[in-house]
Amino acid sequence: MATKSHNIRIDEDIKERAAALYAHLGLNLSDAVNVFLRVSLDANGFPFPVKLRGASAFEERRSKKFTEFLDFAKENPVFEKGHTFDRDACHER
């Protein structure tokens, strides 16, 4: 089967990590992309569910971040003792 070269842009860190993963599996990135494309054709779309994160996932992340912040604040002497923090005032960026 004839092949054709194609350039794609990939985040450098993602490329390095993926290359290491697939090298461990005995594949190079080109082989891995070809496997992904073949499986996508067999599935007639992405070979895994693709969906937006729901509001509940956002709230879980937000709550976790706030809890992490509170734990940090309790252990850090820079924060005033007795100060209360409002979860709604803290948000993700």
Query: What is the model's pLDDT at position 93?
Result: 42
Query: What is the model's pLDDT at position 75?
Result: 79
Residues of the chain short of pLDDT 50, as ranges, are 92-93
Query: What is the model's pLDDT at position 92?
Result: 46
Tell me the CA distances in angstroms from 40 to 26, 33, 44, 77, one per residue in order.
21, 10, 6, 53
Domain ranges of the chain: 12-43, 55-89
Read off the tokens for 80: 């005033």
54 CB-side CA count, 13 A: 1
Query: What is the model's pLDDT at position 43?
Result: 93
pTM of the entire predicted model: 0.53
Query: What is the model's pLDDT at position 33?
Result: 94
Main-chain phi, psi angles of 84, to 5 degrees? -100, 145
Query: What is the model's pLDDT at position 81?
Result: 62
